[in-house]
Amino acid sequence: MGLASFVRTAVTTVIGIVSLNLFVLGAASTGAFVLPVGKKKKEARLQAQSELWDLSAQPLPGFHHKFFEAADGVNLHYVEGGDTSPGSPLVIFIHGFPDSWFVWHHQLSAPAIQQKAHLIAVDLPGYGGSDSFPRASATAILSSIASFIIAQKEKKTRETCILVTHDWGSIVGFRLASEAGFLFTRCIILNALHPSLAVENMTRATSNASRMLQTYVRHPTNFALIQSAFRSVKPFLTQLKCSYYVSVFLLPRPLARQLYKMGDFWFLRLLSRVSKFPNEEAFLASSFGPSKSSADGYPAAILARQSVNKRADDKIAYYRDGLALGKWKKPENIQLLAAASETNSGSTGVLEQKEGSFKCPVTIIYGARDTAFHRRFCFEGLEEYLLPSKGKTGKSYLVCFPRGGHWTMVSSPGRETIEMLIESELNGIDGEEMKERVWAADKDVKFEIEK
């Protein structure tokens, strides 16, 4: 281990331990470690799990549980409904931490979308009712999800495929939009940063600050250089402050699990309140996945996941195993599809986009009240990554929900606005007409970037 790597690990560990202790104090202040879990609460959780995960029942009116077995043998659980005829457009939803398919139940239940599209909400590997990987590497997760999407598209006679993602699902969405964008007509990506853009902004900020500090060493009376160096790196430092909780998940595994499971799942219950989820027990049931009594028919990993430690390990693996920045070694079938797409689009490779640029139109959404992300760090320079539109349709956007937090799709008016964005795409509506429809749902929505 080099000196820089050692220092980085040491700093992350110290921040992680301090952060974990702050969370422990927060949980203790609410009595989470001493108040017993009542019988009624336990029964409510089991009932909620049964309603969401019982394979013999409909998870939502008109929806059914399904499974997809990828070539690597990993079984993905998903729910399916809406217009499932071969000629209908496809809308695929992917959740984030610590959720499952159920986080999209408002959008899945929206009549205007149900009547127009084939709706699928899939559980990420290691979450909900899906199988687990030994490691949540970029190759494992992206290949599994991409294979799933290709298989769903092969059932259709229509090419339209819209991807809607949130949180870690949006990290997957960003990577698929930039590395396999030929799969989608549009990606609607909620509440996440684009890994490639984040690395570029971090590198630029630290490099600029380093040059200014080197100049300051030669001119020690020029204090303006210190101020300029700080201004350059401030967005990066602010994002680190916003993401401090991640350092807990990077601690040695026995410590990293504690935030997830301590104090009768205090952290999950806190997230339930932050998300404005209407029912805490439903939020927990969504995160837990099937109970032992409802695990029949699910992959064997579901029984292993009855262990709280295993359940925590599968979820925090997304923070630990390099999904965001790891190299994706694409399977042969995806490589062939990518090559065919480039040929059909007439791409010559003469004007190469920068690495991480999107290969399909994207609508990127963030909530102004989302404390996990700093707007300037996350989106400065985004224009360079967007696919140029061809005419009045196929534009890309950065959209701000002024009253939105991290779970922009859960509460009003965010959930209705997202439904309107999906419906507009299904109807082929873009540009000013699409904006007018969005503003009818929330007049304060801001379209900050359009290309």
Domain boundaries, the chain: 197-242
409 backbone dihedrals φ, ψ, rounded to 5°: -95, 0
DSSP string, 51-64: HHH-TTS-SSTT-E
Q: Which residues pair with 408 in a beta bridge?
A: none
- For the segment 328-332, the average pLDDT, to the nearest whole number, is 93
pLDDT tens profile 412-431: 999 999 999 999 999 999 99
Q: What pLDDT was estimated at residue 2? A: 67
pTM equals 0.95
Contact criterion met (CB below 8 Å) for 76 and 100: no
Q: Band of the pLDDT at 346, cuts 50, 70, 90?
A: low
Which has more confidence, 230 or 362?
A: 362
| Residue 228 structure tokens | 């300029």
Q: Band of the pLDDT at 101, cuts 50, 70, 90?
A: very high
399 backbone dihedrals φ, ψ, rounded to 5°: -125, 130
Q: What pLDDT was estimated at residue 225? A: 83
394: burial class by Cβ within 10 Å (0-12, 13-18, 19+)?
A: middle
pLDDT tens profile 210-250: 888 888 788 888 888 888 888 999 999 999 999 999 999 99
| Residue (of 194, 192, 314, 206) closest to 253 by Cα position | 314
Q: What pLDDT was estimated at residue 348? A: 46
CA 367, CA 402: separation in Å to the nearest integer? 6
- pLDDT surpasses 60 at 351: no
pLDDT tens profile 397-413: 999 999 999 999 999 99
| Residue 330 structure tokens | 């694409």
CB atoms within 10 A of CB 262: 17
pLDDT tens profile 166-222: 999 999 999 999 999 999 999 999 999 999 999 999 999 999 888 888 887 888 888
Quote the Cα angle for 243-249-255, to 5°.
135
Contact criterion met (CB below 8 Å) for 396 and 363: yes
| Residue 432 structure tokens | 């000013």
Q: Band of the pLDDT at 78, cuts 50, 70, 90?
A: very high
Q: What pLDDT was estimated at residue 386? A: 97
Q: What pLDDT was estimated at residue 1? A: 56
Q: Band of the pLDDT at 350, cuts 50, 70, 90?
A: very low
CA 395, CA 286: separation in Å to the nearest integer? 34
Contact criterion met (CB below 8 Å) for 148 and 124: no
pLDDT tens profile 249-306: 999 999 999 999 999 999 999 999 999 998 899 999 999 999 998 899 999 999 999 9
